[in-house]
Amino acid sequence: MQNVNSSTHWPSLLTFIVCLTGGLFLLGLAGLLTLGGLVTLVNEGYESALGALMIAVGTFFLALLLAPGAYLSYRRMNGMETAGQGAQRPWLRWTMSAMAILWPLSLAGGYWAAKNLEWGWPLLPIVNLLASGLPIALFTALALNRLRVGPAWRAWSVFGLGITAGPLLLIAAEVMLFSFIFALFLLYVGLTPGMVAAIQQLSEQIQIISDEESLLRLLAPILTSPSTLLIALFALAIGVPIIEELLKPIGVWLFADHILSPEEGFALGILGGAAYALFETLGASAQFGTEWASLTAARSGTGLLHILTTGLTSWALVSAWREHRYWRLAGIFTLSVMLHAAWNTISVLSALGGLVDGLPGSPEWLSRAAQSTPYALGMHAGIMLILLGLVKRRLTADQAAGPRGETEINQV
């Protein structure tokens, strides 16, 4: 064991603290969710307890994934050289093949379990973890194939930050965004004559409604109004993508001075995006109805979106730092935001169209948009896969022509 640095290495110290505290917090949360789910299982049955148990399994898995980042950061912080740098991985080809086979099998198993909850509910938490995590792992492996990722401690640190610090900062920033929008709404209400009385009347009508269909009939004119659509698209298709594409590469921001090349920045961004995608997917995977399989398959496209856009933004960031290519940064960041905005726009129109579909006065174009969502999202996912392939081809060519430095290659 060799002492490589006698001074304090602040990036590894920070990531050690973040990964350790984040892992302990997630472990405690998983324990509480499991305990609450078991109590609910005894008192109310499996249907009431299953959501908490599914989230508990996902939370526990996220905690386990933080362990390598904490351990390797601790070694780097103490000046200990980590093993395995420069190691090649010929087994990665078989791993990707296995993931490609197991993913549809897990979707099929989860579909059966969701359709037969009386017998299949004990399997659903584990199957849900596999069906949610395998596509993210597969897209990550495909993206990292033959790319340099740098030392293992840094790669796992970036991944750990994508699970912990990234989501925390994103939640805070998005809360600020929606608080600003709500403040503007309150200002509009206060300055518009009769608006307060109209809201009070609407509130009184909502209180006497006892069924969901009547509530949707009452709110349909509001939900389908142009102003509602504009506000929703501004927040979810413009504001949220800009915030997320700025903050998802949190690990690349932290290690800016240590990343040797734009190609390595892309690889680290892929890891950060995969971590955030896993956090988001497992956090939203408590649904277990008859549409579980279709929703889980659709979320795999969201995972691909986060992986690709974070990798692209990180590549452009390191290009600006190392090579002063600021126009590339501006162009690639705009592209990432546009890809994210297009995905969110389709999702917003689908959600609103699904809510008001069949109600009197609902726009026909909105219902048609909701019905075409699977095709639009599938086309978007195909475009992202093609773009990922083109970027990979460019980066591997640049990598072959450039210096290696202190890097690690995932060789298939």
Instruction: Tell me the pLDDT tens digit for each residue of 99-138.
Output: 888 888 988 888 888 788 778 788 888 998 999 999 999 9
* Span of 67-71, 253-257, 331-335 with lowest mean pLDDT: 253-257
Distances in Å between the Cα of 202 and the Cα atoms of 192, 193, 209 are 16, 16, 11
Tokens coding 124: 């659903």
Residue of 269, 274, 250, 272 lying closest to 140 (CA atoms): 274
Amino acid at 211: D
Tokens coding 299: 């979320």
What lies within 8 Å, CB to CB, of 280 at 6+ separation is 167, 302, 306
* Span of 69-73, 92-96, 191-195 with lowest mean pLDDT: 92-96
pLDDT band for position 403 (50/70/90)? low
Rounded to whole angstroms, how far apart are CA atoms 41 and 52? 10
pLDDT band for position 291 (50/70/90)? confident
Rounded to whole angstroms, how far apart are CA atoms 143 and 359? 44
State residue 412's pLDDT score: 34
State residue 288's pLDDT score: 64
Where does residue 37 rank: exposed (0-12), middle (13-18), buried (19+ CB within 10 A)? buried
The DSSP output letter for 238 is I
**Is the predicted pLDDT of residue 304 greater than 80, yes or no?**
yes
**Is the predicted pLDDT of residue 315 greater than 80, yes or no?**
yes
pLDDT band for position 294 (50/70/90)? confident
* Span of 208-217, 242-251, 318-327 with lowest mean pLDDT: 208-217
State residue 91's pLDDT score: 52
Domain edges within the chain? 100-401
Helix axes 326-356, 373-401, angle to 10 degrees: 160
Distances in Å between the Cα of 288 and the Cα atoms of 201, 238, 293 are 37, 30, 9
**Is the predicted pLDDT of residue 374 greater than 70, yes or no?**
yes
Rounded to whole angstroms, how far apart are CA atoms 236 and 95? 36
Residue of 80, 112, 396, 101 lying closest to 262 (CA atoms): 396
**Is the predicted pLDDT of residue 20 greater than 60, yes or no?**
yes
**Is the predicted pLDDT of residue 226 greater than 60, yes or no?**
yes
Q: Per-residue pLDDT tens for 153-191?
A: 899 999 999 999 999 999 999 999 999 988 988 888 777
Instruction: Give one DSSP letter per residue of 33-96, joined into a string.
Output: HHHHHHHHHHHH-HHHHHHHHHHHHHHHHHHHHHHHHHHHHHHHHTTBPPTTTT---TTHHHHH
Where does residue 173 rank: exposed (0-12), middle (13-18), buried (19+ CB within 10 A)? middle
* Span of 222-226, 259-263, 318-322 with lowest mean pLDDT: 222-226
Which pTM was predicted?
0.87
Compute the average pLDDT of residues 203-224.
Answer: 72
Alpha-carbon torsion angle 4, 6, 12, 16, nearest 10 = 110
Helix (H, G, I), strand (E, B) or coil at 229: helix
What is the tally of helices (H) and strands (E) in the chain?
17, 0
Most confident by average pLDDT, 194-198, 220-224, 271-275, 354-358: 271-275
